[in-house]
Amino acid sequence: MSGITVDELVPPESRQHAVTNTRRRRSPVKQILLFALMVLIAIVMLYPFYFMVDTSLKSNDQFLHGGGHSLESWTSLSKALPWGQQMVNSAIVSAAAIVIILVVSSLAGFSFAKLQFRMSGFVLMGVVAAMLIPVQSIIIPVYVNIAHLHLLNTYVGAVVVYAALGTPFATFLMTAYYRSIPDDVVEAGIVDGLSYSQVFRRIALPLSTPALITITVLQFIQIWDDLLVGLLFLQNPSQRTITVGLGALAAGRTTDIPVLMAGSIMSAIPAILVYLVFQRFLINGLTAGIGK
C-alpha cells in the first residue's frame, strides 16, 4: 500500500470528471472577463459616434458654454452645407468607380486563377505589389497625368483615379476566390462545349457573388470616406463630395461644431447602412481561397 499513490486509487473516470468540473467552474470567470473586454471595446468604438450625435443636438452657444439641447444645428445644416447635392456627387463617383473595379478585377481574377499564360505569376506579383504603394507617394504624378488629359474637376478624372487605386486589391481578392472554385467545374464546362468566356459568365461569375459584394462594400466605404482624391480632383464646389464638403466647412474661419457634427452623421449613414446590410457576405468573401 505504501507504494500506491492517491492518483492510482482514483478511477480515471473520476479524475476526468474532476478536471471537467474545474474547467466548468473557471469558464464563468473567463466569460465575464471576455464580456467585460467586449463592452470596453464597444464603448471605445461607439463613444465618438455618441459624441457626434450629442453635439449635433446642440446649438453653437450650448456647445461652447455647456448645457441644453436643440435642433438648431440640423435646421442650419442645409444653409451651411449643400449636403444633398454633395451626397449625390459621392454616390455618382462611388458607383461609377465600383462598376469599373468589379469588371476589371473579376476578369483579371478569373484569368490569373484559371487561365495559363506566360509570366502570369510575375504579373500577379506586380498587382500585389501595387497594393503596397502608399497613395500619397504617387498622388502628384497622378495629378499631373490627369491634368494633361484635361480631366481635372470632372467626375471622370476622380472615377479613373479611384478605380486605379481600388483595382489591385479587388483583383487579388477575386483571384483567391476563383482559385477556390474546383478546376473540374471549369473543365466540365469546356467539355460541354462552352468557351472560357462563357464559363466565366455562366459559371464563375454567379459563384463569385460573395466576393463581388465584399469588394463593393469595402470599396464603397473607402471611396465614400476618402478626402485626398476628392479634394484634389473635384475642386469645383458644385462637384464636391460630402467628405470634401465637410473638410471645406471645417476649414472656415469660424467653424460651427454642432453643424459639422450633423453633417458628419449624414455622411456616415450611407456607409453604415451598406455595411449592416451586406456584413454577412464579408467574412465569406474575405476568407475565400485562404487555403489555396
The 10s digit of each residue's pLDDT in 56-79 is 999 888 888 877 889 989 998 888
Shared-domain flag, residues 87 and 216: yes
Tally Cβ neighbours within 10 Å of residue 158.
28
Q: How confident is the model at residue 240 (pLDDT cuts 50, 70, 90)?
A: very high
Tell me, yes or no, whether 65 lies in a domain: no
Which residues have CB under 8 Å from 52's CB, separation 6+?
A: 261, 264, 265, 268
- Collapsing DSSP states into helix, strand and coil, what is residue 11? coil
Shared-domain flag, residues 29 and 136: no
d(CA 29, CA 31): 5
Domain closes at, from 19, 41, 56: 56
> Which carries the bigger pLDDT value, residue 209 or residue 5?
209
Domain closes at, from 38, 56, 74: 56
Tell me, yes or no, whether 61 lies in a domain: no
| pLDDT above 80: residue 254 | no
Tally Cβ neighbours within 10 Å of residue 55.
20
Instruction: Provide mean pLDDT across the span 191-199.
Output: 89
Q: If you search the block for the grid coordinates 447602412, which residue do you land on?
A: 273
Q: If you search the block for the grid coordinates 472554385, which residue do you land on?
A: 181
Tally Cβ neighbours within 10 Å of residue 232.
19
Tell me, yes or no, whether 262 lies in a domain: yes
Shared-domain flag, residues 152 and 10: no
Q: Find the CATH number of the domain harbouring 203.
A: 1.10.3720.10
Shared-domain flag, residues 129 and 246: yes
Which residues have CB under 8 Å from 197's CB, separation 6+?
A: none
Q: If you search the block for the grid coordinates 458607383, which residue do you land on?
A: 95
Residues spanned by the domain of 50: 6-56
CA atoms within 13 A on the CB side of 120: 13
Least confidently predicted of 11-25, 59-73, 87-101, 132-146: 11-25
pLDDT of residue 150: 92
- What is each CA distance from 185 to 111, 178, 182, in whole angstroms? 15, 11, 6
Shared-domain flag, residues 115 and 252: yes
Q: How many domains does the chain have?
A: 2
| pLDDT above 60: residue 19 | no
Shared-domain flag, residues 146 and 258: yes
Tell me, yes or no, whether 140 lies in a domain: yes
Shared-domain flag, residues 171 and 35: no
Shared-domain flag, residues 49 and 180: no
Shared-domain flag, residues 95 and 183: yes
d(CA 281, CA 285): 6
| pLDDT above 90: residue 27 | no
Tell me, yes or no, whether 255 lies in a domain: yes
| pLDDT above 50: residue 89 | yes
* DSSP code for 236: S
Q: How confident is the model at residue 225 (pLDDT cuts 50, 70, 90)?
A: very high
Domain closes at, from 37, 56, 75: 56
Tell me, yes or no, whether 170 lies in a domain: yes
Shared-domain flag, residues 50 and 193: no
Shared-domain flag, residues 39 and 184: no
Shared-domain flag, residues 110 and 206: yes
Tell me, yes or no, whether 76 lies in a domain: no
| pLDDT above 90: residue 220 | yes
Tell me, yes or no, whether 272 lies in a domain: yes
d(CA 58, CA 67): 9
